[in-house]
Structure 1
């Protein structure tokens, strides 16, 4: 049996000096330079694939599917290994449906393809890094499976999806790459779990353990001791969160984070396989490198491919990427015989704040009220209150006799027609609203794009634990000790919630708050309207100008959004996007569709980007475990793995990528019926003409 071994490598030096006794390079004169962006020590751990491993943290396919959440022997003081195991368990299950019949164990999963539990032995290197112009640490990691073949090297990037921590892509790009025998390079993209308890000054080390000492941590707010003390006196028990409050707009550097992770991966490979005679036998020139991941991670890899000036990346395979393409009004988007969409490529902040404002009322629309899955999670009273508040502010119109049905129908029309959200996304939007997806993203990105600090309390919002009535409380020590392993990086998460400090009565959890203007529980609509106004650059209630302070913040937000715009230039790299038409988090008319159109404009005939739009698929496969969702939607994850297979074949065997197309899946209709191949048709090598997606003249044509 291999032993599990943890070592510390001396980082940020001219030499790769190892504190481990089994280094392959015993001659310190041989130089495998640690990249200059690495900060501090590099931790190395060897996993035997029996008691612990790279992919499942020793849980195996069965443990990930059926096992309970791993426990901490000392709940107040979990070890780094315990935190890692629980983080892998939660991150895997947050993105992949592991229930019986949903495809796990049949079409995807650690054991698929090898008939085992899928434990993968190998070596893990992890460190902090920074990008030029920022001193906020970003976590980077390289996992090298024992199956890696230095004579045929390959690498897959796995930046975290959403705002998750370093293991945020373990079940997506991580699984595919490790099973393929590739080194997988991860980064938390400068977001991650980094939570700072302002009351106690507690923060997370790289491994998730907590400290109050002055030492390297994932994140602490940019406050002096006096400023922090004064803030906590006024607003006790609050948290600062890395993605929202680092004042760096981390998304602007997501592409650089991925490129640096690739360079770190090459350092790790040559640390492991280099020798006195050949210090760097593994280079970009002899390695197949695929930039990959899903959602925010997918968008990061796309940006990395655009920004790649060193020839590090060979191809791209991403699922539902969060890309904000440069606005190109020279083409429209037309689905079937529907009206052409002219105003595409809206920023994430525009459409997400619109969803935060209007969706709660739209949930009452007769067309979706009784058939939208899990719509009952939203209180009908609160939905009515939101509709009435919007109507009273003049944001919904109607005759004097207008009813809630009328207002809700109008709210749905605004989202579909004014903000370009596809009708196919309407049925899934209510469950996302109930989960505070649009609310959490809106708050986080307004702060991030505007480079605001926690002390600014933008729109009167902060972050804290709350009790059953929504009143601020202390996060327990047990809860805080687990944050690294349970947080998704955007509150509400890990029992830390969004708090509306200006709510009627007292600071209250946003979902339970009554707006000062209405004195009704309406999901803190006043705060959400404030966020929407900052996104649009005008007071959405009056139609007038913002205050001087808000106008200044809006200008900063505008700069932040421009910093993240994607150019559409992939430099001819083979690339595949797969996206579900029913994606209710990243609407396709503002992400994948216009990016494909922009790319066709920019690269023309030299483009190797293919776009596959999957019917009956959406953003969060984990929801497919619920009746009413899994019955009518298929796992997009399956097609993401197909995308990786296609790009791999293109790069290694020269196989042509199939044309861009609509993929017509077949829902199973009953959770008791397992998914079969008949539900999940392959991406067609030669699709029917009526399924082709193409830019024709000034029109991006998408089949029904």
Structure 2
């Protein structure tokens, strides 16, 4: 990163957020709900959120969300469900949106309105899946009966059930829409293998014999397991079906919430799907499912793979970036990691780059990435992911998921441990209690570390192994590639309005590998897909609270909300907006974001 790079402590704190209320006035069980032949939503937990509490911020409001410390637990080892919910809302808002005073959230764009209502939560299991995903419906007291609207959203990244609150909830709830969510069978339901303890439906901790969100089938007696990596379900292959099942749950919960208006069906309720990042990929996968059940789709910076020219999978370009990007960034004038010479030399010894000295290694790494389709804008945008070690964390977890490897079966030897000064240790009750609200769905974070493979001799040995799971012909590599192949996206349903929004400077999910080939293939097939490419936008709006990012980039969320406005207008009879390459202007130093910075398309 350049001279404006993050202090290491700040970077680690942000990584914990990114790859890291409410007094409930009534909590009661609900009746089991049929899932139309694909399972039963049971049990259903219903909570009320009014009088100092609300659906959108848990009563925190914008000032509470901006607080630098999370809402406290009265008893750190045994927080209440209400405390966990409030803190999960705080964590997920801050992990996705730029809430800084100069960032314009809540004034220039977005909403943190107080929205009273009820929440309906359940576990839902797809046919053939080993483990459930979480589903949640937020039913506002101000539900607009005259414009019956259900927004269905998938969490970004591997986040928990509130991982799309700042995307779908912030747009839909103040408008009187109900909002249904899924965690896509990922989420923060971490399981402590030594304590044999996981997360209940309400987020509190439970043990054997209880109904838990995730309990791996393993005899391993130490470390931490989490659903995305260790469920053996390859959840990404089913993202679209997770979204569809969340919508079905939402309709049935609406019938409980507003019985005088029942029934709620796909025929009499407008359904809009929205998500960003992995959530964006999930709603595009939902768009291809059979049936006239969706009315519109908005996908922001989607992790999507279409079998089309220029397309690459996340695992392919992610493992490539993990190995080459640290060396390449210095060639762009960005400061190097402290061990860059050792990393680059190891890459050269492994035959990944050419040269005889550090400058030649750096040039070779840069040239190879450019030859593979990386732009300078995407490389600069990816610098933060290098500094945070994000490529390694993603590649290790996704390799396990794609190959359907269980706990302690990772072919490269990675595992997840709570580490002390002298090595692995037991997690404290307070640490375990906070995992559900504070985690990002993929460690490191919350005291959990991704341990290097045993016997690794160089800083890239584990990364080389992860890359070989894409390039080699071993049984483990074939399992990983088979899992990746199952994530290929199809075409959206004919006639379904779809708007894709992506930042030109996105260095985590580069548009050139994902959105651009997906849109080109869909448009060539005559599908109703529009594409907004936003200049000076990278992947993480939450980084914009830091001056060094705010002076270089604009947020993407305003364009996602604007696309949702257009999607709603299309449902009511207007035409889809045109494709656009949107020129933006990052704000000046110490200036507040204004309309002139965004240039929202008409």
TM range (shorter): over 0.9
Partner of 2:361: 407
The alignment partner of 1:322 has SS state of coil
CA drift of 1:186 comes to: 0.2
* Alignment check: 8 A CA contact 2:319 2:391 kept: yes
1:532 pairs with 2:467: yes
Aligned partners of 2:130 and 2:231 also within 8 Å: no
Alignment check: 8 A CA contact 1:577 1:611 kept: yes
Note if 1:295 corresponds to 2:277. Answer: yes
How high is the TM-score relative to the length of structure 1?
A: 0.80
Answering whether residue 447 of structure 2 is matched by residue 495 of structure 1, we say yes
Instruction: Say which of 386, 393, 399 aligns to 1:440.
Output: 393
In 2, Cα distance between equivalents of 1:35 and 1:61: 42
Matches within 5 A, 1:68-79: 68-79=69-80
How many angstroms apart in 2 are the aligned matches of 1:133 and 1:106? Answer: 46
- CA spacing shift, 1:213–1:627, aligned 2, 3 Å: same
**Structure-2 residue corresponding to 1:20:** none
Matched, 1:639 2:559: yes
Task: Trace 1:35-114 onto structure 2 (pairs within 5 A).
Answer: 37-48=39-50, 50-66=51-67, 68-111=69-112
Partners of 1:84 and 1:647 in 2: CA distance: 30
- Do structure 1's residue 134 and structure 2's residue 155 form an aligned pair? no
Give the aligned partner of residue 583 of structure 2.
664
- 2:305 equivalent among 313, 324, 335: 324
Partners of 1:501 and 1:439 lie apart in 2 by: 12
1:168-207 CA distance string (max 9 Å, x none): 0011111101111101000111011121111111111122
Matches within 5 A, 1:275-314: 275=260, 279-280=262-263, 282-307=264-289, 309-314=290-295
Q: 1:7 aligns to what?
A: 28
| Aligned counterpart in structure 2 of residue 467 of structure 1, from 398, 420, 429 | 420
Shift of 1:351: 0.3
Does structure 1 residue 577 correspond to structure 2 residue 500? yes
Q: For the residues of structure 2 that align with 1:363 and 1:674, how far apart are their CA atoms?
A: 30
> Quick check: 1:586 aligned with 2:509?
yes
**Rounded Cα–Cα distance in structure 1 between residues aligned with 2:61 and 2:410:** 43
Partner of 2:235: 250
Q: Which residue of 2 aligns with 1:222?
A: 217
The answer to whether the aligner puts 1:396 opposite 2:353 as a matched pair is yes
Displacement after TM superposition at 1:601 (Å)? 2.3
Among 104, 125, 150, which residue is 2:120 paired with?
125
Q: 1:565 aligns with which of 464, 479, 488?
A: 488
Aligned equivalents of 1:489 and 1:422: distance in 2? 29
SS at 2:549 equivalent: coil
- Supply the distance in 2 between the matched residues of 1:123 and 1:198 (Cα, whole angstroms): 34
Query: For each residue in 1:556-600, what CA deviation from the matched residue of structure 2 results, as whole angstroms up to 9, or x when unmatched?
Result: 222211211011233221111110011111111111000001102
Pairwise CA RMSD: 1.8
CA contact (8 A) 2:139 2:257 kept: no
Q: Is the 8 A contact 1:196 1:220 kept in 2?
A: yes
**1:682: Cα distance to partner?**
1.7
Q: Which residue of 2 aligns with 1:360?
A: 326
* Aligned counterpart, 1:22: none
Deviation at 1:35, TM superposition (A): 6.8
Alignment length (residue pairs): 580
Decide which structure has the larger Cα Rg and report it.
1
Q: How do 1:136-175 and structure 2 match up within 5 A?
A: 136-175=131-170
Q: Deviations over 1:106-149 (max 9, x none)?
A: 223434xxxxxx21101110000100111301100100111112
Q: Following superposition, which runs of at least 4 residues in structure 1 exceed 4 angstroms of deviation?
A: 33-36
Gap change, CA 1:328 and 1:67, over 3 Å in 2: closer
1:67 Cα deviation after fit: 6.1
User: Counterpart in 2 of 1:619?
Assistant: 539
Q: Which has the higher contact order (CA 8 A, sep 6+)?
A: 2
On the 8 A contact 2:402/2:481 being kept in 1, the answer is yes
Contact 2:453 2:462 in 1 (8 A): no
> d(CA) in 2 for partners of 1:457 and 1:67?
36
SS at match of 2:450: strand
Structure 2 residue aligned with 1:599: 522
2:334 aligned partner: 369
CA displacement at 1:163 relative to structure 2? 0.4
Task: Give 2:10's aligned residue.
Answer: none
- 412 and 571 in structure 1: CA distance in 2 versus 1, 3 angstrom threshold: same
- Distance in 1, matches of 2:497 and 2:33, equals 34
- CA-CA distance at 1:34 after TM superposition: 7.7
Q: 2-side partners of 1:109 and 1:35: how far apart?
A: 38
Structure 1 gap segments, 5+ residues each: 14-32, 112-117, 330-343, 504-514, 539-545, 685-704
CA distance in 1, matches of 2:93, 2:33: 32
Is 1:349 the counterpart of 2:350? The answer is no
Distance 2:212 2:116 in 1: 28
SS of residue in 2 equivalent to 1:141 = strand
